Structure 1
Amino acid sequence: MEVFVMEENLIAPCGMNCSLCVHYQMMKDDLKKQGFNRKYCPGCIPRGENCTHFGDACELLKNGRVRFCYECTAFPCKRLKGLDKRYRTKYHMSMIENLKVIQKNGIAAFLKSEAERWSCPKCGNPICCHNGLCLHCDLETLRKNKRYRWNEEETN
């Protein structure tokens, strides 16, 4: 089984790994053709927005003066802390931790560890951070419950 390769341009300035996002994965596999009506997103950097979440409020991001939020003297700002709390609580991911790992170990090491951490044990494709499912192996689970989120026993 082959582990998927993470792309640097899919790591948003806020630390979001866009390749794990349900909207990116739905787009990548064009799941609207299979009856899923979700908004598609190619990721912040590929769609030409430095940061979808904070670009409107952060001059550094809006103008592309930083690649990652950790380059800012206000890191982590209030908005990033709020987003991070929501993602840690609901989605098993911390943007702030992601950024700290990138800052300490570099982007290549981060991409490698993310690929290992988020690979489906059955097929090697990425697991979706928003629901804990592999959209290749577990599509039926999502089809039965379109609002599916991580198993209860995994969130406690």
Structure 2
Amino acid sequence: MKEELIAPCGMNCSLCVNYQFYKGDLNKEGFHKTYCPGCVPRGKNCTHMGYKCRLLGEGLVRFCFQCEKYPCKDLRALDKRYREKYHMSMLENLEEIRLKGIGAFLKNQNLKWICPNCGELRCAHNGLCLFCELETLQKNKKYCWNREKLET
């Protein structure tokens, strides 16, 4: 896991479905996902929050906790959505980085999200390891964290 894959808002881009599709070039398996190399590597600083926050949009802070308005209402709303839908908290991520440092955070994220079968990282957006459980997603492209939603 690379430090540059941690967005300023606390998103771990290495767990993002679009990053994992990019990393594994998984559209060749019959999908049509947008590929993304990560917020910071593609020069967006933070895809989720950069358009709402001048400091993030212009890259003036590395992490949201460096802002005097932290945590702003937009970050709290993003955090709530990710906690409810994806079992990830931006605010918890940012607090861990702030208190323990980026190295400890990366180590803990790797332990938390590693696939026990193949050693790759699971995807935060659907809970699957896209490198050894891709068949589950191929059968149901709307699969999300054991709440199967059949396509209509």
Alignment of structure 1 residues 1-156 onto 2, 5 Å: 6-152=1-147
Q: Which runs of 5+ in 1 are unaligned?
A: 1-5
Distance (Å, rounded) in 2 between the aligned partners of 1:15 and 1:38: 23
Q: Deviations over 1:118-142 (max 9, x none)?
A: 0001011000000000001101100
Q: Helix, strand or coil: the match of 1:13?
A: coil
Match of 1:3 in 2: none
Letter in structure 2 aligned against 1:104: L
Equivalent pairs counted in the alignment come to 147
Which structure carries more relative contact order (alpha carbon 8 Å, separation 6+)?
1
Using the aligned pairs only, state the percent identity: 64
Q: Helix, strand or coil: the match of 2:108?
A: helix
Distance (Å, rounded) in 2 between the aligned partners of 1:127 and 1:35: 20
Displaced runs of 4 or more, over 4 A: none
Pairwise CA RMSD of aligned residues?
A: 0.7
Q: Which runs of 5+ in 2 are unaligned?
A: 148-152
With normalisation by structure 2, the TM-score equals: 0.95
Moved more, 39-48 or 53-62: 53-62
Distance (Å, rounded) in 1 between the aligned partners of 2:38 and 2:7: 7
Distance (Å, rounded) in 1 between the aligned partners of 2:63 and 2:137: 32
Distance (Å, rounded) in 2 between the aligned partners of 1:21 and 1:145: 18
With normalisation by structure 1, the TM-score equals: 0.92
Distance (Å, rounded) in 2 between the aligned partners of 1:132 and 1:56: 28
Q: Deviations over 1:19-50 (max 9, x none)?
A: 00000000110011111111111111000111
Distance (Å, rounded) in 1 between the aligned partners of 2:18 and 2:104: 25
Deviation for aligned residue 1:147: 0.6
Distance (Å, rounded) in 1 between the aligned partners of 2:52 and 2:82: 20
